[in-house]
């Protein structure tokens, strides 16, 4: 991919630099500094937002006024970097090689739903104080109807100046909708998956300079908060950044409370790599081998569909987040730990806001991978959990024995009772449990890129299991309730009590 230098170094600023002067024009600054080791880098990442351009000894970072004041207390030399406004000239606006105005974006999202009402629905998740909206489209065969299918989520540009995913998401929506009924692959995805796509998670940052263009886009939101440090954290708890939850944050937490997503991805920019959990700590996930598999699937496809040198950063295009550098309060870890969803972070371009002329090339490289990752929603172990007596669906815990750690288990979801457990190929013992029911353990095998359906019925404590014994349809020698023989037609039943023992019950005919 074509790389463009957008940054200008400003001569070194000493520690006595007036913080107020630095933030007189904008609420965030961009700077670099040298660090000694990864331990020090992780410590500083608790103070400022480390950027993906960070390399082996030189870190790049963003900070608002209060964050930078804390950074200065560390006594570390820094270099301020001026981000000049971009001023690309669009060629045609016919081939997705442009960034829309804010109103054009709203019109596009509206047109998707209006043009394909049977399979597409537009949701306004919330309106910010600026008047800009957080918009998302839902795509499904029976859109808006709860069915036995996984729910999948793509969001992009929670950092407002990382905009490759903004255009790729819009084009992905258009590609899926226009391909439905014409492409077998796209038709099957829409028929079997509840797909949600939000192209712009931080419209205030993207359109900081006004609704007409994105050339002055900022990383932070209108309150100068990094939204990807603003989520509850598995290790550091609520408010790890010390800030109140932003409106954008509560909007997406509310979405995750409403829709039980099984797989999702968060699109960023500044590097070309799949970043998989965890970010907050060095412990690997229970499904680290699955994460490496799907991440390599994404990266390998990008490499095969692009020119040489694209999407091969770090470990051939993939990285464990904490191996790179620590992030606390990120959405990726929030979704995985608190919402039992498998989310990774896609870094789509070295240029955070690529030249619009490069966007078609980025699309060609990424769209097969974007579709493959959606399709992963269908693979692994899945099924429906119900009450063995009533047949009603249950919300039950689904846990892999001697495997699950750090909230890697999942739950079946109401109103269907469906569960989706994504696993690397192997043989597993899975326990299904719910308060008031006997747990049930099954053994199942999983193959990569295949589906194993295992429906499970759980037996409630309050109901006895009855096994009927009727050796003769017309026996004359039976027992009454006191154990005395009776010359009458009857059936003998063995009742399993709550303690697990068997006792006789006579049904007189």
Q: Does the pLDDT of residue 498 top 90, yes or no?
A: no
Q: Does the pLDDT of residue 382 top 80, yes or no?
A: yes
Q: Does the pLDDT of residue 506 top 50, yes or no?
A: no
pLDDT tens digits for 219-255? 999 999 999 999 999 999 999 999 999 999 999 999 9
pLDDT tens digits for 103-161? 999 999 999 999 999 999 999 999 999 999 999 999 999 999 999 999 999 999 999 99
Quick one: average pLDDT of 262-278?
97
Domain segments of the chain as ranges: 7-83, 102-378, 380-458, 465-508
Comparing 48-52, 184-188, 475-479, which segment has the lowest mean pLDDT?
475-479
CATH architecture, domain 7-83: 2-Layer Sandwich (3.30)
pLDDT at 200: 98
pLDDT at 21: 82
Q: Could you tell me which residues come within 8 angstroms of residue 482 by beta carbon, excluding any fewer than 6 positions away?
A: none
Average pLDDT, the chain: 89
- Burial class from Cβ neighbours inside 10 Å (0-12, 13-18, 19+) for residue 308 reads exposed
CATH superfamily of 380-458: Carboxypeptidase-like, regulatory domain (2.60.40.1120)
49-50, strands of its sheet edge to edge: 7-9, 79-83, 29-34, 58-63, 49-50
pLDDT tens digits for 276-300? 999 999 999 999 999 999 999 999 9
pLDDT at 395: 98
Residue 384 and residue 73: Cα distance in Å, rounded? 55
If pLDDT is split at 50, 70 and 90, which confidence band does 463 have?
low
pLDDT at 22: 86
Provide long-range contacts, Cβ within 8 A and 24+ apart, for 238-243. Answer: 239/329, 240/328, 240/329, 241/328, 241/329
If pLDDT is split at 50, 70 and 90, which confidence band does 89 have?
low
- Helix and strand element counts for the chain (H, E): 13, 26
Residue 262 and residue 228: Cα distance in Å, rounded? 20
pLDDT at 503: 41
Residue 29 and residue 22: Cα distance in Å, rounded? 7
Q: Could you tell me which residues come within 8 angstroms of residue 143 by beta carbon, excluding any fewer than 6 positions away?
A: 118, 119, 120, 121
Residue 475 and residue 455: Cα distance in Å, rounded? 39
Asked if residues 457 and 486 have their Cβ atoms less than 8 Å apart, the reply is no
Comparing 142-146, 217-221, 332-336, 470-474, which segment has the lowest mean pLDDT?
470-474
If pLDDT is split at 50, 70 and 90, which confidence band does 90 have?
low
Q: Does the pLDDT of residue 352 top 90, yes or no?
A: yes
Q: Where are the alpha helices (DSSP H) in 193-287?
A: 203-206, 247-258
pLDDT at 501: 41
pLDDT at 65: 94
Here the tokens at position 127 are 């309106």
pLDDT at 464: 55
If pLDDT is split at 50, 70 and 90, which confidence band does 493 have?
very low
Q: Does the pLDDT of residue 13 top 70, yes or no?
A: no
Quick one: average pLDDT of 408-418?
97
The answer to whether domain 102-378 has CATH 3.40.630.10 is yes
């Amino acid at each position: 991919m074509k790389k463009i230098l957008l940054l200008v170094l400003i001569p070194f600023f000493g520690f006595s630099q007036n913080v107020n002067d630095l933030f007189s024009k904008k609420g965030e600054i961009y700077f670099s500094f040298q660090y000694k080791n990864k331990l020090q880098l992780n410590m500083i990442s608790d103070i400022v937002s480390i950027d993906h351009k960070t390399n082996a000894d030189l870190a790049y970072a963003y900070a608002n006024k209060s964050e930078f004041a804390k950074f200065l207390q560390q006594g570390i030399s820094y270099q301020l970097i001026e981000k000049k406004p971009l001023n690309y000239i669009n060629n045609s606006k016919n081939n997705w090689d442009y960034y829309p105005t804010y109103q054009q974006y709203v019109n596009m999202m509206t047109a998707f739903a209006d043009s394909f009402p049977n399979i597409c629905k537009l949701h306004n998740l919330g309106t910010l104080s600026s008047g800009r909206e957080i918009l998302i489209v839902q795509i499904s065969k029976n859109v808006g109807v709860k069915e036995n299918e996984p729910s999948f989520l793509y969001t992009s540009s929670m950092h407002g100046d990382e905009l490759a995913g903004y255009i790729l998401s819009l084009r992905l929506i258009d590609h899926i909708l226009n391909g439905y009924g014409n492409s077998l692959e796209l038709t099957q995805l829409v028929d079997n998956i509840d797909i949600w796509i939000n192209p712009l998670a931080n419209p205030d940052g993207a359109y900081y300079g006004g609704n007409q263009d994105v050339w002055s886009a900022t990383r932070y939101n209108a309150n100068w908060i990094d939204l990807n440090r603003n989520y509850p954290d598995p290790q550091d708890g609520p408010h790890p950044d010390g800030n109140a939850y932003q409106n954008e944050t509560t909007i997406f937490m509310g979405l995750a409370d409403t829709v039980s997503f099984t797989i999702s991805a968060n699109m960023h920019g500044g590097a070309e790599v799949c970043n998989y959990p965890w970010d907050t700590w060095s412990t690997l996930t229970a499904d680290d081998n699955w994460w490496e598999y799907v991440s390599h699937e994404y990266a390998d496809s990008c490499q095969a569909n692009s020119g040489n040198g694209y999407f091969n950063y770090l470990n051939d295009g993939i990285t464990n987040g904490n191996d790179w550098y620590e992030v606390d309060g990120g959405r990726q870890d929030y979704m995985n730990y608190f919402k039992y969803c498998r989310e990774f972070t896609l870094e789509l371009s070295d240029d955070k806001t690529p030249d619009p002329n490069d966007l078609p090339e980025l699309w060609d490289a990424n769209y097969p991978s974007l579709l493959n990752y959606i399709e992963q929603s269908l693979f692994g172990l899945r099924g429906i959990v119900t009450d063995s007596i009533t047949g009603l669906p249950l919300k039950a815990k689904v846990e892999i024995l001697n495997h699950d750690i750090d909230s890697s288990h999942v739950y079946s979801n109401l109103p269907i009772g469906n569960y989706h457990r994504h696993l690397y190929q192997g043989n597993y013992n899975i326990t299904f449990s719910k308060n008031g029911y006997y747990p049930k353990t099954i053994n199942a095998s999983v193959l990569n890129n295949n589906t194993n359906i295992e429906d499970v019925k759980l037996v409630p404590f309050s109901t006895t299991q009855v096994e009927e014994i009727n050796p003769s349809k017309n026996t004359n020698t039976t027992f009454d309730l006191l154990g005395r023989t009776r010359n009458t037609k009857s059936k003998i039943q063995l009742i399993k009590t709550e303690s697990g023992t068997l006792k006789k019950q006579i049904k007189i005919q």
